[in-house]
Structure 1
Amino acid sequence: MNHAVTVANDAAEITITGRLTFKFHKEYKDFLDDLLKNEVERFIFDLSGVEFIDSAGLGMLLIAKQKAQGQNAQVILRKPPENVKRMLQVAKFDKIFEIEA
């Protein structure tokens, strides 16, 4: 997993590439703690470069949503590739996240 963050106005855009799996859980947690120091209204996760996501990766997105809600911020998932989009749909994430095509 690689990531880059751009903060502008009321949003932080997080570009994630590679595999979003349990292997990166600790790195993600540390990254998320730093990310949430930004006082923004929206956290936009650009998933277009994610090759694979497992159940732990889904859980990591849920953690981001839960922590962002504590700051009254929204989490948006943007441009998931088809295989990732299928996982999000199977997990019913389309019911709890805004997913942008």
Structure 2
Amino acid sequence: MQYERRVENNAAIYSVHGDFTIFFLNNIKGDIEKDVSAGKISYFVFDFSDVHYIDSAAISLLIMTGKYNDSHGHKLYIRLPKDVVKRIIDNAELTFVEYQY
């Protein structure tokens, strides 16, 4: 997995490429924690257009960022998820997620 981070209108947008699994979680989680502690990010957005699979570790990261977004009055926005990724997220019943197509 690889990812790029950019900031637009106080949102940190993470574009993820490849399988989003526990093996690659530490790097992105560290960057997200830096964003949270810096206090300049209002909410997080994930672009999953190039993600083919996510595991429970990725779900835990979505929960963490979803709680942060909720505390700032935002849904957790996930852009362009593939059907298989959307099904995994839906099965986890993450009610705070809003998909963007």
Question: TM range, normalised to the smaller chain?
Answer: 0.7 to 0.9
Q: In the TM superposition, what is the alpha-carbon distance from 1:38 to its structure 2 partner?
A: 5.5
Q: Percent of aligned pairs with the same residue?
A: 26
Gaps spanning 5+ residues in structure 1: where?
none
- Which runs of 4 or more aligned residues in structure 1 lie more than 3 Å from their structure 2 counterparts after TM superposition? 67-70
Aligned residues: 99
Question: Residues of 2 paired with 1:89 and 1:20: CA distance?
Answer: 16
> Aligned-pair distance for 1:51?
1.7
Q: Is the 8 A contact 2:13 2:47 kept in 1?
A: yes
Q: TM-score, normalised by structure 1?
A: 0.81
Partner of 2:15: 15
Mapping of residues 89-100 of structure 1, within 5 Å: 89-93=90-94, 95-100=95-100
RMSD between aligned residues = 1.9
Look up the equivalent residue of 2:86 and give its one-letter code.
K
Look up the match of 2:65.
64
Q: Extract unaligned runs of 5+ from structure 2.
A: none
Query: Per-residue displacement from partner, 1:24-83 (whole Å, max 9, x unpaired)?
Result: 23223212112333623332111111121011111111112223445x153211111111
Which has a greater percent of strand? 1
* TM superposition score normalised by structure 2: 0.81
Query: Does the C-alpha gap of structure 1 residues 30 and 89 become closer, same or farther in structure 2, counting only changes over 3 Å?
Result: same
